Every structure is written in structure tokens, then in C-alpha cells.
């Protein structure tokens, strides 16, 4: 039987697929852009066309699959967008689904991840929720434009701290869960990096590494939202979800440091 990896070309899914293959699992890498998947994995992995918004793609993607890595594409802001696929997983008797959730959602009903977790539990699919802190890759990915072009970190996180984790580490920990479905039935895992930093500290580290003076601009929510929608041209739903997440961050929900990564993998998380 195979493990279906949704978002297999994404930050986390790409590592989940790679780590599962190293463990000897048969992986089906899923997404709407097969060319992107082929470019990333070559012929190493089976690819399957899969679209959360098109139910006609579900049966083929779930053929001979007994475990699933489930992620919510960032632009699908409504939890309901994922429900039809969760229902399909139930019909296909999936024996473990590992959903890429978010640190702190067990106590916070606002981010879509909360309702998605609850729906998986209600439908009755054995689950191993992964609740990571913020990805390090946010800085090298979505926020790298302002760092590169303006020497600024443009994130509305106030003075809060974040226990950043490397997406590669999330991928490895998730693969451990999916490789051992019996051991991790109906569990949840808050996975973080080794320490919590505020964005002034992040700016200091980036300045040291690049040899340039990079500052933390500390924008307010309104300025951030308007900039990312109107100037960067990013999807409104996506930006709105990130505003909610940075609001939570300011409340202190992103600063917890756990040793869950070490417990699952026997390795230390990347600094």
C-alpha cells in the first residue's frame, strides 16, 4: 500500500515524501502541477493529479493508499474546502492521516486548522495531527522579497517570540508518524525549533550572516495587510489568514519550545 502526500511540491510535503521514500515507503506525490512534481522528484516517485476543489480527482489519488499526509493549501482559507476530501478518505478506509496543522490550534478556534482537525476526528479517521511552529522558510520564502530588496523584515508580529522550525524537520517527524501508524493512532504533536526568537533577534542574525544592515520594520496589521494585498498582489484570503496568525503570535502562542521533535526522531531540531 502507498502513502499519499498532498502538497508534495510544497515546503513540508516535499520533505515528507523524501523522508518516506528513505524509509522504504511507496509514495504517491499529489498536486495540481504534475510538471512541478516531475521537476522536483524526477522519476523517483509516482505522481498523481489531485485537486482539493475537484472531487473527481479523489478516487484515483486514493487508489491503493492506506495513509495520507494532508495539508491545507494556503489559499484555501475555509475549513470546509477540505471536508469533501476528508469524507473521501473515510470511504477509502485510511488507517492514518497526518494533517499539517498549527501550534496552539487546540485552544484557538479562529485558524481554519482547528475546524479541520475537529472534522477529521468527527468523521472517525485515525489521525496524527502535526502542529508545528512557524516555518524558518517563511523568511527565505514569502518574506524574502523585503529582506532582499529593502533590508527589512516586514511582519506584523510586534515584540512577540517565535520558536521557528525548519520545514525539513517537520517533514522528517511527519514521516516517522506515517511510517508507524499503529503507534501514533489518534495523537497530536506540537513540533518546534530549539529556541524562541523575536524578530529583532532574527534581524540581527540575518545582518550578521549577510553582512548587510537588516532591520525589523514591525508594521501594524493594517499596513501589513494593505501592502501584501495591494503592492505584493497576494491572495486576499491567504493574507487574512496570516493576519489572524500574527495576531495569535502577538498573544504569545508561537513561543512555546517542545522536545517533541527529539522524542519522535532522536535528533535535535535545526537551530
Ligand X SMILES: NC(=O)c1ccc[n+]([C@@H]2O[C@H](COP(=O)([O-])OP(=O)(O)OC[C@H]3O[C@@H](n4cnc5c(N)ncnc54)[C@H](OP(=O)(O)O)[C@@H]3O)[C@@H](O)[C@H]2O)c1
CB of 245 to ligand X, least distance (A): 7
Residue 32 in contact with ligand X, rule: CB under 6 A = yes
Q: How far apart are the first and last CA of the chain?
A: 35
Residue 33 in contact with ligand X, rule: CB under 6 A = yes
Residue 104 in contact with ligand X, rule: CB under 6 A = no
Query: Which range in 49-57, 88-96, 151-159, 214-222 contacts ligand X by CB under 6 A?
Result: 49-57
127 beta partners = 97
Q: Which is nearer to ligand X, 36 or 90 (CB)?
A: 36
Q: Which is nearer to ligand X, 42 or 211 (CB)?
A: 42
Question: Mask of contacts with ligand X, 118-137, x by CB under 6 A?
Answer: --------------x-xx--
Integer Cα distance of 65 and 100 in angstroms: 18
Among 23, 36, 123, 194, binds ligand X (CB under 6 A): 36
Query: Which range in 26-34, 90-98, 119-127, 173-181 contacts ligand X by CB under 6 A?
Result: 26-34
Contacts with ligand X, residue ranges (CB under 6 A): 6-7, 9-13, 31-33, 36, 50-53, 71-74, 100, 102, 132, 134-135, 138
Amino acid at each position: 500500500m502507498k502513502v499519499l502526500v498532498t502538497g508534495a511540491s510544497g515546503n513540508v510535503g516535499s520533505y515528507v515524501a523524501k523522508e518516506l521514500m528513505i524509509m522504504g515507503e511507496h509514495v504517491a506525490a499529489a498536486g495540481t502541477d504534475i510538471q512541478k512534481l516531475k521537476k522536483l522528484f524526477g522519476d523517483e516517485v509516482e505522481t498523481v493529479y489531485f485537486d482539493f476543489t475537484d472531487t473527481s480527482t479523489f478516487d484515483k489519488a486514493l487508489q491503493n493508499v492506506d495513509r495520507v499526509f494532508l495539508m491545507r493549501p494556503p489559499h484555501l482559507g475555509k475549513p470546509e474546502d477540505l471536508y469533501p476530501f476528508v469524507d473521501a478518505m473515510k470511504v477509502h478506509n485510511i488507517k492514518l492521516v497526518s494533517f499539517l496543522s498549527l501550534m496552539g490550534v487546540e485552544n484557538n478556534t479562529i485558524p481554519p486548522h482547528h475546524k479541520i482537525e475537529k472534522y477529521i476526528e468527527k468523521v472517525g479517521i485515525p489521525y496524527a495531527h502535526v502542529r508545528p511552529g512557524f516555518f524558518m522558510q517563511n523568511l527565505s520564502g514569502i518574506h524574502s522579497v523585503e529582506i532582499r530588496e529593502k533590508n527589512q523584515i516586514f511582519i506584523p508580529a510586534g515584540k512577540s517570540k517565535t520558536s521557528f522550525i525548519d520545514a525539513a524537520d517537520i517533514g522528517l517527524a511527519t514521516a516517522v508518524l506515517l511510517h508507524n501508524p499503529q503507534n501514533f493512532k489518534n495523537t497530536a504533536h506540537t513540533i518546534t525549533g530549539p529556541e524562541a526568537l523575536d524578530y529583532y533577534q532574527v534581524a540581527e542574525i540575518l545582518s550578521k550572516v549577510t553582512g548587510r544592515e537588516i532591520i525589523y520594520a514591525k508594521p501594524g496589521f493594517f499596513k501589513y495587510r494593505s501592502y501584501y494585498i495591494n503592492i505584493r498582489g497576494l491572495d486576499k484570503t491567504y493574507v487574512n489568514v496570516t493576519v489572524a496568525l500574527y495576531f495569535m503570535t502577538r498573544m504569545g502562542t508561537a513561543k512555546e519550545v517542545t522536545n517533541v521533535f527529539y522524542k519522535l526522531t532522536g535528533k535535535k531540531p535545526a537551530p
